[in-house]
A and B are shown apart, each in its own frame.
Chain A
Amino acid sequence: MALTGNRLTFWFGCNMLRHAELIRLSMQLLERAGFDVEAAGGPGYCCGTPHDHAPVAASAMASRTVERFNAASQMEGRGTVVTWCPSCHMHMSDIMSPGNATQFDIAHITEVLADAGDKLAPLLVHPVKRRVLLHRHIGFATHVPVNDRVASILARIPELSLVDGPAVPGHMCSSLGGVPGALKGAVAETWQAAAASGCDTLATIFHSCHREVAALDGRDGITVRNWVHLVAESMGLDAGDAYRGWRQGEAPDAAAIARADPRLYAKLVEPELKKPLPI
């Protein structure tokens, strides 16, 4: 189904705020596909998923977010909300919309960009000589065939070789946290498959997976990239990855820490950046 009009809201979710480059690059890709894009995310656009323990608050958050997207649709003509986060997408589809009148449709960014493949293909001018294993989960296929969509996008990149690998449980790595050993098993299975296949790159699809495996970058000669980084690289866009660097021991510059509040940085951010490797 084609999108209605070319104006859209890119709903990147909450936890993507760790990955500013991915937000910006995603917007650039959507713009190059011909869309007028406004981004929205963070706690003010929470879907409610993280608050299953507080149903009243979660429901209020869902209503507020739907109202904001309805307003963007009515006042700015942004009749499509393009999602990134599979949790947000499923929550909107399954729980938010049955309880709130929506004046917009939704699509996942991988669907939009895959459908715009013919428009994007001429922009993929830089060969990306990588042998890539795509880190896949089996979840979210109930709503969007995301693994196939990302593969179809990456297949258009000159000289990129995509290797088949396992599809692990859950819809993204963070969903596995409730079962001891599940996350470690999923990361290990994926990483071992990449190494055994002679891959030099492991490509993540979602932010939560990227967050987990970024710290392994360089091990076994394998670098960690998100699929958006690879598309951007082929377009000649700056495809930096600050979070990966931080997990590798780099630190944000002092001015950025000062702006964020050094106390909050030390309490909330630093422990995450220094947490043990997943495998």
Chain B
Amino acid sequence: MKSLQQPSAESSQAYLAEAGSRLADLCTACGACFDACPMARLVPALAGVSPTSVTEGLRSLARGETGPVETVAWVGACARSGVCVSACPERDKGLDAMLLVRIAKQRAINDTGQLPAKHDAHAFPRVKTFARLQLTDEELDRWL
């Protein structure tokens, strides 16, 4: 069991807005997270790129600034393998590399427009239909 963090912001959105710049400031752009990432090896466009350049771009994106295409390709490929977290030499100072990548990805979608939004408008109607296929009226009423 884990006790959850005490809130440090008024909402999740406010927290993410604050955390992006804070985590970017902790990042030294050493490239260790990129080197450790198993997804980076699966993206042809990332073959031979400089890890430090990619992570320098990570800092920019997390602050809401335009990032280089390699960084955008990398954050877009993030599957939350989490290997970057332990690879990061700044972890003990409070840098959660996976969260930094995630925020950078959100910025690339919402702020810099460098990644397309991947939204399935049918996702919720689909799971509700699955629910009605299988759940009893009582389950539908109590669980959802």
Which among B7, B8, B13, B76 is the interface contact of A59 at CB below 8 angstroms?
Answer: B13
A170 near B80 with CB under 8 A, answer: yes
Q: Is the pair B135, A138 in contact by a Cβ cutoff of 8 Å?
A: no
Picked from B10, B43, B134, the residue with its CB within 8 Å of the CB of A179 is B43
A43 in contact with B11 given A20-B134, A259-B133 (CB within 8 Å): no
Contact A269-B130, Cβ < 8 Å, known A23-B143, A55-B16: yes
- Contact partners of B90 in chain A: CB under 8 A: none
Q: How far is the CA of A170 from the CA of B105 in the complex (A)?
A: 16
Return chain B residues, CB-CB under 8 Å to A97: 4-7
| Cα–Cα distance between A267 and B125 once the two chains are bound (Å) | 10
Q: A44-B144, A62-B12, A99-B10 are in contact. Are A268 and B122 (CB under 8 A)?
A: yes
1/0 contact string of A26-63 vs chain B (CB within 8 Å): 00000000000011111111101011111110110011
A94-B99 in contact (CB<8A) = yes
Q: Quick check: is A95 within 8 A (CB to CB) of the other chain?
A: yes
Known A63-B11, A95-B16, A107-B1: A170·B144 in contact at CB below 8 Å: no
Are B79 and A171 interface neighbours, CB within 8 A? yes
Partner of A42, one of B12, B118, B128: B128
Q: Is B117 an interface residue (CB 8 A)?
A: yes
Asked if A171 and B117 sit within 8 Å, CB to CB, the answer is no
Is B106 positioned at the interface, with any CB of A under 8 Å from its CB?
yes
Question: B79–A106 contact, CB under 8 A?
Answer: no
Assembly CA distance A137 to B132 (angstroms): 31
Q: Contacting B133 at CB < 8 Å: which of A98, A101, A260?
A: A260
Chain B 10-27, CB within 8 Å of chain A: the 1/0 string? 111111100100000000
Chain B's closest residue to A97 (CB) is B4
CB distance from B83 to the nearest CB of A (A): 7
**Bound CA–CA A169/B38 (angstroms):** 6
B: number of interface residues (CB 8 Å): 60
Interface contact B133-A252, CB-CB below 8 Å: yes
Cβ-based interface call for B30 (8 A): no
When chains A and B are docked, how far (Å) is the Cα of A105 from the Cα of B96? 21
Residues of the B chain whose Cβ atoms lie less than 8 Å from the Cβ of A242: 134
Could you list 29 examples of A-B contacts with CB < 8 Å?
A1-B3, A14-B124, A18-B130, A20-B134, A20-B139, A42-B128, A43-B144, A52-B110, A55-B13, A63-B12, A99-B13, A100-B11, A102-B7, A105-B3, A106-B1, A107-B2, A112-B1, A138-B38, A139-B79, A143-B2, A169-B38, A170-B81, A175-B79, A179-B39, A252-B133, A260-B130, A260-B133, A269-B133, A272-B126
Known: A42-B131, A94-B99. 12 other contacts (CB 8 A): A15-B127, A51-B119, A97-B4, A99-B14, A99-B15, A101-B7, A102-B4, A143-B2, A179-B77, A252-B134, A268-B122, A269-B133
